[in-house]
Amino acid sequence: MKIDILSLFPEMFEGFVNTSIIKRAIDAHLVEVHIHDFREFSNNKHKKVDDYPYGGGQGMVLMCQPILDCLKSIVTSESLVILMSPQGRTLNQTYSQELSLEKHLIIICGHYEGFDERIRDYVDVELSIGDYVLTGGELASMVVCDSIIRLIEGSIKEESHEDDSFSSGLLEYPQYTRPFEYDGNTVPDVLMSGHHENIRKWRLKQSLLKTYRKRPDLLIKKELNEEEQKILQEIKEND
């Protein structure tokens, strides 16, 4: 996969592309990430990228010319053009999985009060990471990239995202590591038993219990199999 990001603040991405799993995925050529400073595309002698809003009002608006000339220099028929915006469709795990199969993503990040509306004519998807406002689209774009890149085959151990909260439609079960006892709190016996079937059942029950208590909305959407329905019934009777 190739990801091109259009931003006025390319330095914000340095930590992101040079750290941990994302760095490893880039080094392994699973993904290419290119940051483009669209100010460099400004035709204006002062490299201006924004101007006052027609009709008056607060703040500045990003102009079409620098962003769209930058976009036109990289877009192909295989690109999916994404605009980060609080008005966009909200990202979730299912959509991250779909996006992780794309060949080429172009992500536009804006600042100031927003964009000239005509930029939207060149965008395939307007995307939001949640119902809150950020000073710019950069952090939002990194959230999107992080969630997509870890899903690219080879980026993390194959099975390790099948258990992720949300991929299964349930929250993740509790995990423990050494030591066996910390501040008088011990690890549940079943995890020390080596009995794989009992461990599987315990984890499934804990996932259902956590989801029931913290995110009951997820249970409404999810289709439960017979085993899950039975365990959930027990949970409801004992709660």
How many whole angstroms separate alpha carbon 204 and alpha carbon 228? 8
**Contacts of residue 154, Cβ cutoff 8 Å, sequence gap at least 6:** 25, 28, 30
Alpha helices by DSSP H, listed for 8-62, are 14-17, 20-27
Examine the residue annotation and report whether 118 is marked as an active-site residue of this protein: no
**183 C-beta neighbours (distance < 10 Å), count:** 4
> Which of the residues 113, 124, 227, 234 is marked catalytic?
113
Number of residues that bind ligand 4H6 (CB under 6 A): 17
> Which of the residues 86, 172, 174, 203 is marked catalytic?
86
User: Among 71-79, 113-121, 201-209, 227-235, which window interacts with ligand 4H6 (CB under 6 A)?
Assistant: 113-121
How many whole angstroms separate alpha carbon 205 and alpha carbon 227? 10
**Contacts of residue 36, Cβ cutoff 8 Å, sequence gap at least 6:** 4, 5, 6, 7, 10, 70, 74
Is residue 136 a contact residue for ligand 4H6 (CB under 6 A)?
Answer: yes
Q: Is 128 helix (H, G, I), strand (E, B) or coil?
A: strand
Phi/psi for 84 (5° steps) reads -75, 125
Given the complex with ligand 4H6, which of 6 and 209 has the nearer CB atom? Answer: 6
Q: Is 138 helix (H, G, I), strand (E, B) or coil?
A: helix
Quote the least distance from Cβ 76 to ligand 4H6, whole Å: 24
- Range 116-135, binding ligand 4H6 (CB under 6 A): 128-130, 132-135
User: Among 78-86, 159-167, 185-193, 223-231, which window interacts with ligand 4H6 (CB under 6 A)?
Assistant: 78-86
User: In DSSP terms, which residues pair with 171 in a beta bridge?
Assistant: none
Examine the residue annotation and report whether 164 is marked as an active-site residue of this protein: yes
Given the complex with ligand 4H6, which of 89 and 200 has the nearer CB atom? Answer: 89
User: Among 39-47, 108-116, 149-157, 187-195, which window interacts with ligand 4H6 (CB under 6 A)?
Assistant: 108-116
Given the complex with ligand 4H6, which of 140 and 231 has the nearer CB atom? Answer: 140
Examine the residue annotation and report whether 150 is marked as an active-site residue of this protein: yes
Given the complex with ligand 4H6, which of 130 and 154 has the nearer CB atom? Answer: 130
What the block records as the tokens of 160 is 């390790």
Quote the least distance from Cβ 56 to ligand 4H6, whole Å: 17
Q: Supply the residues annotated as catalytic.
A: 86, 113, 150, 164
